[in-house]
A and B are shown apart, each in its own frame.
Chain A
Amino acid sequence: MTDSLTRPAPSDGSDQDPAGRAGHEDHPERVGFFTDTSVCIGCKACEVACKEWNAIPEDGLELTGMSYDNTRGLGASTWRHVAFIEQSKPLGHAQAAVDHTDVDVLALAAQGSATPPEQAAITPTTPGPPSPDGRTELRWLMSSDVCKHCTHAACLDVCPTGSLFRTEFGTVVVQEDICNGCGYCVPACPYGVIEQRPGDGRAFKCTMCYDRLGAGQEPACAKACPTDSIQFGPLEELRERAAARVGQLHEAGVADARLYGHDPGDGVGGDGAFFLLLDEPEVYGLPPDPQVTTRDLPSMWRYAGAAALALAGGLAAVFAGPRRAPAGRTRR
C-alpha cells in the first residue's frame, strides 16, 4: 500500500488522514509521539529500550566529545537519539549564582520531586567562575530525536518498490523483505532519519513499534521514559497537550519554548512525532523549515518534460537543411 499514487499531497494542511489516504478503511485513530524536551534528563533509556525491543545491532562504541552524546545521530541502527547541547544561556528565570551552603538537601529530598523552586533554592548546576563577559549561566538541553512519521513522507513517496508503506495507525514503516536497497529514501528524507545499514544494504528506521501498537501497547521508548518526556497517544490529543505545555512554560518565563512539527500547515503536513524545543530547531540538528520534495514533483516533471521536448526538437533541427550537405557550408 502506498500513499495516494496520482494525487499530489495537498499543501494546505487539510489532509490529516494519511492512513485513510493510503487506503485503510475503518482504521484506528492516528497516533504519534510528543517529545517534551524541557523535562528530558538525558538518561538515554529510550535509546536502550528501542535497541532492545527492536533487536537493533550495535553500531559503534566511540567517544565523540559532543557533550554526553556518543550516539551521534539517527541512522539505520539508531532509531532514538538523545542530543545534548551545552549553552551559555539562562533557562527562563533560572539563576545559576545561588548560594547553597545553608540548604538541607536531605530535608528537601524528603519532600519529593515536586518541591517548588522557592523552597528548593536549588539549581541544576553549581556555578563556576564567571566567564569573561560576566555570565554564569549554563543550560544543558537534551532532546530525544526520532523519525517524524511525516503526514506527507518523502521517504515513502520516492520508494520505488513499495517497501515503505503507511500503516493503519498513520505511521511510516519499511518492509525489510521488500526493500532492495536502492537508497533513494535516504537523501529524500528532509530530516536525515532513514539510512541503509552498512553490510546489509537495506534501509531501516523507527517503526513506532508497529508490533507493539498492533498489540495495543505503547512504543518501547515512551514506555521506558522516566520523565514522560516522550509521550505517546492519539495525535490530536497530544497536540492539545503540547499547546497547553508551551503556554505553561511561557508563563514560567521560558520565552524560547516552542513547538516543532506540530503544525499541519508546515512543509510536511505536520509530523506524527513532534517536539517541544527550547531553542531554534537547527541547534538540535533539525531542519528549520523542512519540506517534502515530492510536493514540487508535478512542477519538476513539467520542467523535465520541457527539457526532453527541447532535446528532441533541438536534435531534430540539426538534421534540417539539405541531405548530406557538404559539411563546410551548413549553418549552425
Chain B
Amino acid sequence: MSTSDVTKGGIRGERPGREAEAGRGLRPGRRGRRGRRGEELMVPQAEFTSYYGRPVITPPSWQARDIAGYFFLGGLAGAGSVLAAGSHLTGRRTAARALKISSTVAIAGSAAALVHDLGRPERFANMLRVFKPTSPMSMGSWLLAAYGPAAGAAAVLDVTGLLPRTGRTATIGAALLGPAVAAYTAVLAADTAVPAWHEGYRELPFVFTGSAAVAAAGMGLMTAPPEENGPARRAALLGAAVETAAVRAMERRVGVVAETYRHGRAGRLMRAARALTALGALGAALPARCSRPAAAVSGAALLAASACTRFGVFHAGVASAEDPKYTVLPQRERLERRQAEQAGKPAEAERAEQA
C-alpha cells in the first residue's frame, strides 16, 4: 500500500528504494554494446505499432440506421426547404407543397432517429439544458428546435391554406435555416477524434450539402409535375457535381485514411452512391425532361445515392476508428513533420556557425 504523499513541499512518508534503478544493469560502462544495439534498432520498423491491434480511440456506439439516417433526413429536409421556398416564390405550387411536406416528414424522422439513438431517450430534453457553442450537437439541437416548427408550419399552412402570409414567412424562415441544418451535421461528425471524419473537416460540409441538394432534387423530381421540375433537375446536376468533387478532394486530403472510404462496407456504399448519382444525374439531364416515370426513377436514384453517401461516410468513420493504423499513422506523420521543423532550425543555425 502506498505510504507516501506528494505535496507542494515535496514528498512525505517516502518509502526507501522507491526510485528503483530499473535498467541500470551490472556494467553500465559497456557503451559498445549499446552502440551496437542502437544500430540494430535502426532496422526499418514495421509500418506502425499498436497495442495488440486494439483501437486507440473508441469507435462511436451510434447505430448506423439512426445516425447516418439522421444525416440523410436532415439534408433532405434542409435542402428541400430551400427548393420549396424557391418553388413557392416562383409559383410552382405543387412542387412547393410536396417539398414542404417532405421536409416536415424528414425532419420529424431525423429528430425521432436522434432521440431513438440516445442511451436514455427519456432524457432528450437535457439537450436543451445548456446552450453550448463548443458542442455541435448542442448547436444542432437548438437549430432543429428552430427549424422544425418553421418547416412544420410551412407545410401545415400550405396544405390547409390558412394564414397565407404567415405561411410565406414560415416557408422563407425554413429556407434560411435549412442550409444550416444540412451543413451542421458535417461539423457534428468532424468534431470527433474519428480520423475519416476529422481529417476531412474542410471538405465534409460540401460533401454533405452536395448530397443534401441531390436528395432534395430527387424528392422534387419524384413529386413535382414535369412542367415544374426544371429547378429540381438543375439542382440535381449541381448537387451531384459538388458532391462528387468534394468527395474526391476529401479522399485526397485524408491521405492513408482514404482507404476507409474505398474498402469494405463503406467502399461499397460510396461506389453505389457514385453509380446512383451518375444514373440520377443522367436522368435529370436527359429523358426526364418530358416523361414523368423517367423523372421519378431518376429522383429515386438520387435519393438512394444521397442515402448511400451518408451511410458510406458513417461506416468509413467507424472503420477508421476501429483500426489503430488510421489513428497512429497520421499522428506519427504530423509529429515527425513538427519535429523535423523544430530540429531543422537549430541544425541550420549550427551549420551557419560552422561556416
Q: Which residues of A contact B62 (CB under 8 A)?
A: 183
Q: Give a binary string over A298-326; 1 marks a CB under 8 Å from any B CB, 0 the rest.
A: 01110111111111101111110001110
A136 beta carbon closer than 8 Å to chain B: no
B87 closest partner in A (C-beta): A319
Complex CA distance for A145 and B175, rounded to whole angstroms: 49
| A contact residues around B24 at 8 Å (CB) | 92-94, 117, 252-253
Residues on the B chain within 8 Å of A114, using CB: 16-17
A160-B137, A179-B120, A307-B209 known; A318+B235 contact, CB < 8 A: yes
Most buried by A among B208, B229, B289, B331: B331
Cα of A325 to Cα of B231 in the assembled complex, Å: 10
- Are B6 and A241 closer than 8 Å at their CB atoms? yes
Q: What is the CB-to-nearest-CB distance from B181 to chain A, in angstroms, rounded to a whole number?
A: 9
- Comparing B43-51, B102-110, B163-171, B263-271, the segment that makes contact with chain A is B43-51
Q: Which of B59, B238, B338 has the most CB of A within 10 A?
A: B238
A144 at the interface (CB under 8 A from B): no
Complex interface bits, B324-352 against A, C-beta within 8 A gives 1, otherwise 0: 10011001101100100000000000000
A182 at the interface (CB under 8 A from B): yes
State whether the Cβ of A47 lies closer than 8 Å to any Cβ in chain B. Answer: no
Q: Please, which residues of chain A bring their CB within 8 A of the CB of B119?
A: 179-183, 196, 200-203
Query: A118-B26, A162-B132 given as contacts; is B34 within 8 A of A93 (CB)?
Result: yes
* CB–CB A226/B2 < 8 A: yes
B353 interfacial by beta-carbon distance below 8 Å = no
Q: Is B262 an interface residue (CB 8 A)?
A: no
**B324 contact set on A, CB distance < 8 A:** 282, 285
CB of B321 closer than 8 Å to a CB of A: yes
- How far is B55's CA from A38's CA once the two chains are assembled, in angstroms? 24
Docked Cα-Cα span, A5 to B324, in Å, equals: 32
Q: Contact check, A237 vs B205: say whether CB atoms are below 8 A apart.
A: no
Interface residues of B in 170-224 (CB under 8 A from A): 175-176, 178-180, 182-184, 186-187, 190-194, 198, 201-206, 208-209, 212-213, 216
Determine if B21 is an interface residue (Cβ-Cβ < 8 Å). yes
Fill in one digit per residue for A2-28: 1 if any B CB lies within 8 Å of its CB, else 0.
111110100000000000000000000
**In chain B, what residue has the closest Cβ to A306?**
B205
Q: Which A157-174 residues have C-beta < 8 A from chain B?
A: 157-163
With contact pairs A196-B61, A327-B289 given, residues A304 and B132 touching in the complex (Cβ less than 8 Å): no
Q: Give the residues in chain A near B10, CB-CB below 8 Å.
A: 237
Please tell me if the beta carbons of B1 and A187 are within 8 angstroms of each other in the complex.
no
Question: Please, how many angstroms separate the alpha-carbon atoms of A296 and B56 in the complex?
Answer: 21
List chain A residues, Cβ under 8 A from B83.
315, 318
B20 contacts A315, C-beta separation under 8 Å: no
Task: Give the residue of B50, B334, B338 whose beta carbon is less than 8 angstroms from that of A285.
Answer: B50
The answer to whether the Cβ of B237 comes within 8 Å of any Cβ in the partner chain is yes
B30 contact set on A, CB distance < 8 A: 93
Whether A39 sits at the interface, judged by CB under 8 Å, is yes
Shortest CB-to-CB span from B192 to chain A, Å, is 4
Q: Which residues of B contact A254 (CB under 8 A)?
A: 22-23
Residue of B nearest to A315 (CB): B82
Judge whether A277 is part of the interface by a CB distance below 8 angstroms: no
Chain A residue, CB-CB nearest to B185: A304
Q: Total A-B residue pairs with C-beta atoms closer than 8 Å? A: 376
Q: Which of A82-99 contact B (CB under 8 A)?
A: 83, 85, 90-95, 98
Which stretch (A55-63, A101-109, A207-215, A216-224) binds chain B?
A: A216-224
Which one of B121-129, B152-160, B300-308 is at the A interface?
B121-129
Contacts of B86 in A (CB 8 A): 315-316, 318-319
A243 within 8 A of B: no
| A303 and B201 within 8 A (CB) | yes
B134 adjacent to A252 (CB under 8 Å)? no
The answer to whether B20 touches A296, judged by C-beta atoms less than 8 angstroms apart, is no
- When distances are taken between beta carbons in the complex, the residues of chain B under 8 Å from A237 are 6-8, 10
A181:B118 contact, CB within 8 angstroms: yes
**Quick one: which of A193-251 are within 8 Å of B by CB?**
193-196, 200-203, 218, 222-228, 230-234, 237-238, 241, 245, 248-249
B332 surroundings in chain A (CB, below 8 A): 282, 288-289
Task: Tell whether, in the assembled complex, residue A188 and residue B191 are in contact, meaning their CB atoms are under 8 Å apart.
Answer: yes
Within 8 A of B (CB), among A177-191: 178-184, 186-191
**Contact between chains at A249 and B213 (CB < 8 Å):** no
A192 contacts across to B, CB distance below 8 A: 55-58, 193
- B149 is an interface residue with CB less than 8 A from chain A: no
Residues of B within 8 A of A287 (CB): 56-57, 327-328, 331
Chain B residues with CB below 8 A from A64, complex form:
52
**Nearest B residue (CB) for A92:** B23
Residue of A66, A223, A299, A310 touching B206 (CB-CB under 8 A): A310
Q: Bound complex: CA of A187 vs CA of B192, how far in Å?
A: 6
B57 touches A191 (CB 8 A): yes
Q: Are B290 and A311 in contact (CB under 8 A)?
A: no
A76, B135: Cα distance in complex, Å: 22
Provide the bound-state CA to CA distance between A175 and B28, in Å.
51
Assess whether B39 is interfacial by the CB under 8 Å rule.
Answer: no
- 9 extra interchain contacts, Cβ-Cβ under 8 A, other than A93-B30, A181-B118, A307-B179? A38-B23, A180-B124, A182-B119, A187-B58, A187-B193, A253-B25, A253-B34, A287-B327, A288-B328
Which residues of A pack against B, CB within 8 Å? 2-6, 8, 29, 34, 38-39, 64, 66, 69, 72-73, 75, 83, 85, 90-95, 98, 112-114, 116-118, 121, 154, 157-163, 178-184, 186-196, 200-203, 218, 222-228, 230-234, 237-238, 241, 245, 248-249, 252-255, 280, 282-291, 293-294, 296-297, 299-301, 303-312, 314-319, 323-325, 327-328, 330, 332
Interface pairs (13), CB distance under 8 Å: A39-B20, A113-B17, A158-B135, A159-B135, A160-B135, A189-B58, A286-B56, A303-B205, A307-B179, A311-B212, A317-B238, A318-B230, A332-B238
| Closest 5 pairs (CB-CB, A-B) | A181-B119, A201-B119, A92-B23, A93-B25, A233-B6
